[in-house]
Amino acid sequence: MVRRSDSGEQRPTTIRDVAAHAGVSVATVSRILSGSYPSAPATRSKVMKAVRELDYVANANARNLAGASSRSVAIIVNSVVSPHYAHVAQGVQTQAALEGKLCIVGTTGGDAERELATVQLMRQEHAECVILVGNVVNNDAYRERMADYARALAAAGSQLVLCGRPTLGPDVPALVVEYDNTGGAYAITSHLLSAGHRRILFLGRHEGYTTSDSRITGYRNALADHRVPHDPGLEADGTMERSEGYRMIRERLAAGPPDFTAVFAGNDLIAAGARQALREHGLRVPDDVSMVGFDDLPPAADIDLTTVHVPHEELGRTAVRLALERRQEKVVAPAQHVLLGTHIIVRDSVRPVRVALG
Amino acid sequence: MVRRSDSGEQRPTTIRDVAAHAGVSVATVSRILSGSYPSAPATRSKVMKAVRELDYVANANARNLAGASSRSVAIIVNSVVSPHYAHVAQGVQTQAALEGKLCIVGTTGGDAERELATVQLMRQEHAECVILVGNVVNNDAYRERMADYARALAAAGSQLVLCGRPTLGPDVPALVVEYDNTGGAYAITSHLLSAGHRRILFLGRHEGYTTSDSRITGYRNALADHRVPHDPGLEADGTMERSEGYRMIRERLAAGPPDFTAVFAGNDLIAAGARQALREHGLRVPDDVSMVGFDDLPPAADIDLTTVHVPHEELGRTAVRLALERRQEKVVAPAQHVLLGTHIIVRDSVRPVRVALG
């Protein structure tokens, strides 16, 4: 609610108003609203009554709720179960809290119509920025849809941010925060090559999808630079799920004995599934087969996986920070493009390839 | 946008209007909006132009955006990084999609003021239900805050749902969807006792917190029913994170040799951290120490952990389904309370206790 101050101008209800109304200290109100300290039921009742009567909305971002000004940042993901999406969303939430904003996550289940509807919802709710995350088919239909989002949000005073997605070009008012997929894939493939591996099975080729394409490009570039002939037969098609890693190895080993000494799993989930399938076939990582992944998310630590660290939370934090900066500075186009680095995390899943003696 | 039909009454723009406006078939519009099929740039441009000009909002839930009617369900969690929260949110998203609703997730970082602000935001956005999930300190301040939410949301035509939290009593218009923490903890403790274990270390006591309290109650009840004396020294204090499991075991083994043959980790994350600390101390699971967890979430499968399955997604789906049913049937109070079952998932982390011979 908005109150008239002594000087007459309008101002939102503050915690002081609540304290005065309830006849207690500001500290008491804060303590009781936080719910994390003991307090006398009578005091609590007085305070909650004052909160109700003044329709007090706690904290700065929330006070904005009373006014028309926006107060939230939005992130839209396919699914919050994917550790990658969840950790980016966590970064968004962390930065939003620092900036005194609420954080809203929209989920689409990967459905383009739900994505469109969710973007429109966030626009109508005056989210200060709308962050879209992750793997896409980068075709004309996609780029046109994103360009429409970017213009519609800009027209509404909001800002489209693409996270871990390619740029849309200079004429589209979108902020792009990417990380170095190709560089990370190049580095981790080189790590296997330096250990003497030449037959490296890539799990999770998914042509047309940006994340898979950029990772497999790094894999192929590293092979080429090490003058290792590229064998397309060592690229297994699949999506980025644990069950897919299990399936790809199962099918491969059913077709014949392993024709590879190392596995480059397209992400850590694929690695976990592949590791299970190898184990069921009597093959241990790293003793029998070396393995690396990508993401450095659970379950990488639990399976001792050497992998590529992706700055998931930093992606989310950077997206929010830059978007809000642009708003404050009233920056419109040109589009902005940020690329965050990746690096290898060495655990215990790679052994030097055995050399046959004699 | 809302258009006037031939018969004169108002109706939202449909995909047919877009197809007619663009001079293409409905199938073409649908294909292009889905973004998942190739199509001629010229056609795509015509369709996207029509979408813009008619401000067409794709699909049923989205069409509601044009009107005042509500179209979304909201879930509020501490963090989407926690697998438990993420999987409940996934269930909410799945059911929301089935019911033609959007799904928005609010994150609070565990801050009560952000929770209050987020609930008020969701109320103002006319969410059809607001679902709060997980572990809480069930004190008077908490119950009073929840009762306020329940009444404020009911007054706004919405519905408070508490997921995995205790009921607030018959006079509060809240829907409660719980799962059987105590029963699950009783069953998994009995599983260890049946394997001959008598010194079972519980990791993650956190007095006052509902989830930990209900799990430790099941643990104590099972010991009592098996006539195994309860040793409070076998209950380690900690929160539900992986790093805490690691810390609790490290501290315990630093204090002296293991005085337990089995570990009951308060959840699977604690189990993963505890397992790593045991391994660093030269103790393997299950050969040297048996271990069970709780939740049946990643990383349970990757560490072969026998654990208690919690129907996370079903909690979310049930919360949405019941809340929307109540709205349709215009049910107000009395409060409704649902308890979902839990069961053991047996993997390879428990061995019969070794009996000294002779």
Peptide bond into A258 cis (omega under 30): no
Chain B CA closest to residue A125: B125
Q: Cα distance from B303 to chain A (closest Cα, Å)?
A: 7
B252 phi-psi bin (left φ>0, alpha ψ -120 to 50, beta other)? alpha
Asked if A144 and B117 come within 8 Å (Cβ–Cβ), the reply is: no
Asked if B118 and A112 come within 8 Å (Cβ–Cβ), the reply is: no
Measure the CA–CA gap between A77 and A91, rounded to whole angstroms: 13
Asked if B113 and A58 come within 8 Å (Cβ–Cβ), the reply is: yes
Angle ∠(B82,A277,A85) on CA atoms, nearest 5: 25
Measure the CA–CA gap between A74 and A83, rounded to whole angstroms: 18
Please state the separation of Cα B120 from the chain's center in Å: 21
Q: B307 to chain A: which residues are within 8 Å by CB?
A: none
Q: B112 to chain A: which residues are within 8 Å by CB?
A: 33-36, 58
pLDDT at A66: 34
Peptide bond into A38 cis (omega under 30): no
A107 lies within 8 A of chain B by CB: yes
pLDDT at A333: 52
B90 lies within 8 A of chain A by CB: yes
Is residue B345 within 8 Å of residue B296, measured between CB atoms? yes
Q: Cα distance from B34 to chain A (closest Cα, Å)?
A: 5
Q: B104 to chain A: which residues are within 8 Å by CB?
A: 104-106, 118, 121
Residue B209 DSSP one-character state: B
Q: Where do runs of H (alpha helix) occur along chain A? A: 15-22, 26-34, 41-53, 60-66, 83-98, 112-124, 140-155, 181-194, 210-225, 242-255, 268-280, 312-328
B6-47 pLDDT tens trace: 444 445 677 788 888 888 888 787 767 655 455 677 887 787
Calculate helix-pair angle for A112-124, A140-155, nearest 10 degrees: 10
Q: Cα distance from B186 to chain A (closest Cα, Å)?
A: 27
B72 lies within 8 A of chain A by CB: yes
Chain A CA closest to residue B277: A302
pLDDT at A219: 98
Distances, alpha carbon B131 to alpha carbons A134, B82, B163, B318, B340, in Å: 26, 16, 7, 11, 16
Q: Cα distance from B44 to chain A (closest Cα, Å)?
A: 7
Peptide bond into B286 cis (omega under 30): yes
Measure the CA–CA gap between A233 and B92, rounded to whole angstroms: 41
B44 lies within 8 A of chain A by CB: yes
Peptide bond into A334 cis (omega under 30): yes
The residue-averaged pLDDT of B302-316 equals 96
Structure tokens at B61: 């839930």
Please report how many Cα atoms fall inside a 13 Å half-sphere around the Cα of residue B172, on the Cβ side: 20
B252-268 pLDDT tens trace: 999 999 999 999 999 99
Sign of the dihedral defined by the CA atoms of residues B183, B315, A296, A193, in that order:
positive
Q: B39 to chain A: which residues are within 8 Å by CB?
A: 141
pLDDT at B237: 98
Chain A CA closest to residue B30: A113
Structure tokens at B35: 């973004």
Sign of the dihedral defined by the CA atoms of residues B276, B282, B284, B290, in that order:
negative
Q: Considering the entire predicted model, what is its pTM?
A: 0.77
Asked if B114 and A97 come within 8 Å (Cβ–Cβ), the reply is: yes
Query: Quick one: what percent of chain B has pLDDT higher than 70?
Result: 86
Asked if A105 and B106 come within 8 Å (Cβ–Cβ), the reply is: yes
B96-145 pLDDT tens trace: 989 888 888 988 888 888 888 889 888 887 899 999 998 888 898 899 99
Is residue B325 within 8 Å of residue B158, measured between CB atoms? no
Out of B57, B65, B80, the one facing A105 most closely (by C-beta) is B80
Q: Cα distance from A183 to chain B (closest Cα, Å)?
A: 26
Calculate helix-pair angle for B112-124, A26-34, nearest 10 degrees: 80
* Per-position DSSP letters for A181-238, written without gaps between them: HHHHHHHHHHHHHHTT---EEEEEE-TTBHHHHHHHHHHHHHHHHTTPPP-GGGEEE-
Query: Quick one: what percent of chain B has pLDDT higher than 90?
Result: 56
Asked if A102 and B97 come within 8 Å (Cβ–Cβ), the reply is: no
Asked if B45 and A144 come within 8 Å (Cβ–Cβ), the reply is: yes
Bridge partners (DSSP) listed for residue A264: A202, A292
A10 lies within 8 A of chain B by CB: no
Name the amino acid, one letter, at B57: V
> For residue B189, which of B180, B199, B179 has the smallest C-alpha distance?
B199
A68 lies within 8 A of chain B by CB: no
Place of tokens 């993901």: A77
Cα end-to-end span (Å), chain B: 85
Q: Cα distance from A178 to chain B (closest Cα, Å)?
A: 20
Asked if A33 and B112 come within 8 Å (Cβ–Cβ), the reply is: yes
Question: What is chain A's Cα-based Rg?
Answer: 26
Each residue's pLDDT, cut to its tens digit, for chain A (358 residues) gives: 444 444 444 456 777 888 888 888 887 877 676 554 556 778 877 877 787 667 665 543 343 433 334 678 999 998 888 889 999 999 999 999 898 888 889 888 888 888 888 898 888 878 999 999 988 888 988 999 999 999 999 888 899 999 988 888 888 999 999 999 999 999 999 999 999 999 999 999 999 999 999 999 999 999 999 999 999 999 999 999 999 999 999 999 999 999 999 999 999 999 999 999 999 999 999 999 999 999 999 889 989 999 999 999 999 999 999 999 887 776 655 668 899 999 999 999 999 997 655 4
Residue A112 DSSP one-character state: H
Asked if A86 and B86 come within 8 Å (Cβ–Cβ), the reply is: yes
Residue A346 DSSP one-character state: -
Mean pLDDT, chain B, rounded, equals 86
Is residue A314 within 8 Å of residue A340, measured between CB atoms? yes
Measure the CA–CA gap between B7 and B324, rounded to whole angstroms: 32
* Per-position DSSP letters for B39-106, written without gaps between them: --HHHHHHHHHHHHHHT---SHHHHHHHSSS--EEEEEES-SSSHHHHHHHHHHHHHHHHTT-EEEEE
Place of tokens 């590229």: A230
Measure the CA–CA gap between A141 and B145, rounded to whole angstroms: 47
Q: A121 to chain B: which residues are within 8 Å by CB?
A: 62, 65, 71-72, 102, 104
Measure the CA–CA gap between A162 and A146, rounded to whole angstroms: 9
Higher pLDDT, A101 or B232: B232
Portion 295-334 of B in contact with A at CB < 8 A? 298-299, 301-303
Sheet holding A200-205, edge to edge: A235-237, A200-205, A262-265, A290-292
pLDDT at B161: 96
pLDDT at A7: 46
pLDDT at B126: 84
pLDDT at B267: 97
Out of A61, A81, A301, the one facing B86 most closely (by C-beta) is A81
Bridge partners (DSSP) listed for residue B295: B309
Q: Cα distance from A273 to chain B (closest Cα, Å)?
A: 9
**CB-count burial class (<10 Å; 0-12, 13-18, 19+) for A36:** middle
Asked if A80 and B93 come within 8 Å (Cβ–Cβ), the reply is: yes
> For residue B131, which of B209, B83, B77, B91 has the smallest C-alpha distance?
B77
pLDDT at A4: 44
Place of tokens 């101390």: B281
B68 lies within 8 A of chain A by CB: no
Q: A89 to chain B: which residues are within 8 Å by CB?
A: 80-81, 107
For residue B347, how many other CB atoms are within 10 A of its CB?
17
Is residue B305 within 8 Å of residue B291, measured between CB atoms? yes
> For residue B244, which of B202, B297, B282 has the smallest C-alpha distance?
B202
Structure tokens at B344: 């053991």
A-to-B residue pairs, Cβ atoms closer than 8 angstroms: 197
B32 lies within 8 A of chain A by CB: yes
Q: Cα distance from A77 to chain B (closest Cα, Å)?
A: 11
Chain A CA closest to residue B91: A81
Residues in chain A: 358
Q: Are strands A102-107 and B102-107 parallel, antiparallel or unpaired?
A: antiparallel
pLDDT at A28: 81
> For residue B310, which of A85, B318, B302, B335 has the smallest C-alpha distance?
B318
pLDDT at B128: 92
Asked if B80 and A144 come within 8 Å (Cβ–Cβ), the reply is: no
Residue B57 confidence class, pLDDT cut points 50, 70, 90? low
> Element (H or E) spanning B270, and its range?
helix B268-280
Chain B CA closest to residue A113: B58
Asked if B113 and A33 come within 8 Å (Cβ–Cβ), the reply is: yes
Chain B CA closest to residue A57: B117
Out of A32, A41, A93, the one facing B107 most closely (by C-beta) is A93
Q: A53 to chain B: which residues are within 8 Å by CB?
A: none
Place of tokens 């005042």: B68
